[in-house]
Structure 1
Amino acid sequence: MATDVYGLSVTASSDSVDALNTAVNDYYAWKGDPVALLMDAAKADPKFSLGYSASASLLLLSGFTRENPMVVEALEGAQRAIGEANLRELQHLEAAKAWADGEMIRATTTWEDILLDNPRDALALRFCHDTYFYLGASQTIRDSVARVLPYWSENDPGYGYVLGQYAFGLEECGELRQAETAAYRAIEINEEDGWAVHAIAHVLETESRQEEGISFLRNSQPAWSKAHALAAHNGWHLALYLIEQRRFAEVLASYDRFVQPTIAGDAILDLVDAASLLWRIELAGGNVGERWRDISRQWMTHVDEHVLVFNDLHIAFCAARSPDADDAMRLRASLDRYDREGMGDNHRITRSIGRDIIEAVLAFADGSYHRCVDLLLPLRYDATRIGGSHAQRDIINQTLIVAAERAGRLTLARALLNERLAQRPTEATRQQLTQVVSALTVGHSSSALRM
């Protein structure tokens, strides 16, 4: 029986195993088209069930629904080819089916079972990593890698990528020094490791090291931009530093040059980043002009998919700012149907917390700032459940603070800004707090005069 580059048995021809090795490397490197590689190999090799099931998992993790024809083809192909598959390959198909049914946690349980006996299964490891990210499960992002790391060595071709994954998990758990050390080691192994660069970008953002972050990302851009599927997102991190410094013109110029051209490509991560940037700029006081039009139109093509609350939140940003006044109504109607008919982990998260967060965004856009505050305030510590990173979910706290200010709930705004300043001591936060305190002082003085 053939074996892959990590020594694992694969029921397939040698050509299929070569395609698998290339696809796994491309997946970790954010390059190429691993789905096309695997699907082409599987179609030519009637025993290569893993090629089909891995393709299904990759598509589902990219935001495709189980009804998508490519997902259907992959799952059906895997089932047809399963006859001679080994236990590990059977488990990969089981996990893909679970994800397709919306049972993300059950999928990770199956992949973790694979890793217990096959700690060098790079696909299972990365599938777990991505799914835990979608669940906002910081500790398991870290620990899933920690459990298998002793079985990897620097002689393995993917060791640097695995170390970069571990660095991101460490950062999400607040272990910033260890994260930075691991990420820089991964970059020493491979300077084009976009995910390791991403881990460092998170550390610098978390610690409000904006100038260092700008320098780091700009100087390393020739290398990390080769990880083309992640390049726009690392550029998004650069934009976060610039927004914090209120350098809106630079951000918008980069948006027009690098982000706008990706919208038509319809990659979910690119759509998330585009919507997030525009919303953050407006919260910070910038003017984005007519830029909501194209991103809103593209996001609304996904309005009925409901793969992740995190995605639906970014649809809400666009529906709220869309030039089409019916988009918010369409989103609400679609969520109503999903509430009645949906199933799986995301459905449960949507019903328990996601719907209220989305309603808060729509209320903010309508100028119903009190309602926005009332919806967000009780939920902000549970928001990890919608998925994404700490940096991405920070948009919820930013929205809450601005809503509190605009609602005239200045003592709340002051309290939230005091909290933020302790965590993110930036000049922009200091200035925002000073303005709120000044408004409170003026308000108290006016009250005293009236008395």
Structure 2
Amino acid sequence: MIQDIFRLTHTSDHPDAVAAFERATEEVAGHRRDAGAALGEALAADPQLVAAHCLKGFAQLILARSELQLGAEAALLAAEQALQAKGGSEDETLLVFALRRATEGKFHAAADLLDIITDARPTVFLPLKLSHALRFMVGDLAGMLKSTEALAPAYDPALEGYGYFLGCHAFALEEAGRYDDAERVGRAAALAEPRDAWGIHAVAHVYEMRHQPADGIAWINEQRAAWTGCNNFAYHLAWHQALFHLEQGETDATFHLYDTEIRAQPTDDFRDITNAASLLWRLSEQGIAVGGRWEELADRARHRKTDGTYMFAALHHLLSLLATGDFASAQECVTMIGTRAEGTGDQARVAAHVARDLAETLLRSAQGQLPRHDLSELAERLPLLGGSHAQRDVFMRALAHSAARQGNRREAATLLRLRAERRRVDRFAERMFHALATVPAAVTLPPTQPLWRHHA
């Protein structure tokens, strides 16, 4: 057996395969571009390298596209066959068990199995990174922090992956609302491992939630040399920068980032779509014309309107359909989410508990109809969708708008107070409170009319 530099144990007689897997692990840790190539090298050197098959399977599932399910299942089969053929370490066995649960749509259960590895040996890095990603996708923010806090005492600055661990811990702290701790740990992550985009990203989130747009812009620019070498995660950091510019009323800079970085590559990756759709929604809600930018996203959304792999992604596609007035396709998407709620697995539960009601509310609001659900209660369920507080804010904004348009000032004010529990008052909240003071109660505004007009 060989233990790699990130302390995962492999049943292999091929050091070159393990060395390539180490590179793949670091590429994943740093959100870099060459993880796939490194995995290919590892499997070429040892076609029965169990962890390489497992990482390949997890990577396809995390992309959350229905057509990648078969690839993930094929990776699982290859891992199981390798495990059966030559046996495996406890690490490899648990990776396979976790991948099986993940292919079944049970990300919570998969993360629990990965945590067994780190419970026994706290500094094995890859299971932590995978568990962190899975819990993030299913909204288990408490589980993210529980895991990193338990492991933190075991991590020493001399250990390979120390900076990457700090990045995970910083983000878990930020999502728990511990912003001072998150900033401190995130900055330490960037110092310990300059390639750690996740730690850089955690600090950006802190500035978003504490309403420090100038500090956010400065931080992202300061770290630009590190994160521009990322995979499409670089587009997400550009999204954060665009939010900061928009908050400062700098729409030209916002559109420049959208066109040259955020959506420079018109991909079908849900992470890129969520960046783009949520930014355009924020611009549109302010009455800022976005040109034909929604149409490209709507074309993608029409292709994905029946893909129920990940509710968080489906709801962002729904935003694009609503923004372009394609209510027929939007209804198909809403119907798909309702059908998904009748199924099994984590995403079926998400659909049943929050996504179905949110999708219906968004559609009805766009059509100028009254909501059927208590909007404040619905807002409290949003964390179940997964993603971050900053990412889900687009839905908080949409719910507040829905209440205000219907003249329900009390509901809108309650939503704004709920939002303020996580973040300082920003321009959106200030303008909403002003709109609530000037729009008469019980007066319904047309769904296409902004509550305010943009003033640079």
Give the corresponding residue for 2:381: 382
Aligned to 1:448: none
Superposed, 1:408-423 pairs within 5 Å as 408-417=407-416, 423=423
In the alignment, is the contact (CA less than 8 A) between 2:29 and 2:164 conserved in 1?
A: yes
AA at the equivalent of 1:290: G
Q: Secondary structure of 2:264's match?
A: helix
How far has the Cα of 1:395 moved from its partner? 1.4
**Is 1:120–2:96 an aligned residue pair?**
no
Is the CA contact (8 Å cut-off) linking 2:8 and 2:124 kept in structure 1? Answer: yes
In the other structure, the counterpart of 2:19 is 18
- Check if 1:279 corresponds to 2:274: no
**SS at 2:266's partner residue?**
helix
Provide closer, same or farther for how the CA distance between residues 37 and 222 of structure 1 changes in structure 2, counting only shifts above 3 A: closer
- Amino acid of the structure 2 residue aligned with 1:267: D
Contact 2:182/2:202 (<8 A) preserved? yes
Distance 1:192 1:354 in 2: 35
Q: Quick check: 1:312–1:358 contact (8 Å CA) kept in 2?
A: no
Instruction: Quote the RMSD (CA, aligned, Å).
Output: 2.3
In the alignment, what sits opposite 1:346? 347
Shift of 1:437: 1.4
Q: Output the amino acid matched with 1:234.
A: L
Counterpart pick for 2:236 among 229, 233, 236: 233
Give the letter for the 2:130 counterpart: F
Instruction: Flag the 1:104–1:194 CA change in 2: closer, same or farther, 3 A.
Output: same
1:355-434 map, 5 Å: 355-368=356-369, 370-371=370-371, 374=373, 376-417=375-416, 423-434=423-434
- Preserved CA contact (<8 Å) 1:243 1:284: no
- Match among 286, 292, 295 for residue 290 of structure 1: 292
User: Which sections of structure 1, spanning at least 5 residues, go unmatched?
Assistant: 444-451
* Deviations 1:69-107, CA, capped at 9 Å, x for gaps: 422331221122112212221110110110110111110
> Which string of whole-angstrom CA distances, capped at 9 and with x for unpartnered residues, describes residues 158-216 of structure 1?
10010011011111111111111111111112333211111111111111111211222
Instruction: Determine if contact 1:95/1:106 at 8 Å carries over to the other structure.
Output: yes
Give the Cα separation in 2 of the matches to 1:203 and 1:393.
Answer: 15
Distance 1:90 1:39, change over 3 A: farther
- Tell me: CA distance 1:401–1:104, structure 2 relative to 1, closer, same or farther (3 Å): same
Q: How far off is 1:29 after superposition? A: 0.6
Alignment of 1:169 with 2:172, yes or no, is yes
Give the partner amino acid of 1:329.
Q
Match of 1:99 among 93, 99, 102: 102
Question: In the alignment, is the contact (CA less than 8 A) between 2:138 and 2:346 conserved in 1?
Answer: no
Structure 1 376/418 Cα, relative in aligned 2: closer, same or farther at 3 Å? closer
SS of 2:195's partner is coil
Which amino acid counterpart does residue 438 of structure 1 have in structure 2? T
Question: Does structure 1 retain, via aligned residues, the 8 Å contact 2:338–2:356?
Answer: no
CA contact (8 A) 1:98 1:106 kept: yes
Within a 5 Å distance, the mapping from 1:149-160 to structure 2 comes to 149-160=152-163
Note if 1:270 corresponds to 2:269: no
Q: After superposition, give the CA deviation of every residue in 1:345-397 in whole Å (9 maximum; x if it has no partner).
A: 110121122111111122222222x327x453321111111111111111122
Deviates more, 1:6-15 or 1:63-72: 63-72
Name the counterpart of 1:315.
317
Give the superposition deviation at 1:67: 5.8
Query: Shift of the alpha carbon at 1:245?
Result: 2.9
Shift in alpha-carbon separation, 1:303–1:175, aligned structure 2, 3 A = same
Q: As a proportion of its length, which structure holds more helix?
A: 1
Please give the TM-score of this superposition, normalised by the length of structure 2. Answer: 0.90
- TM-score relative to the length of structure 1: 0.91
- Residue number in structure 1 paired with 2:333: 331
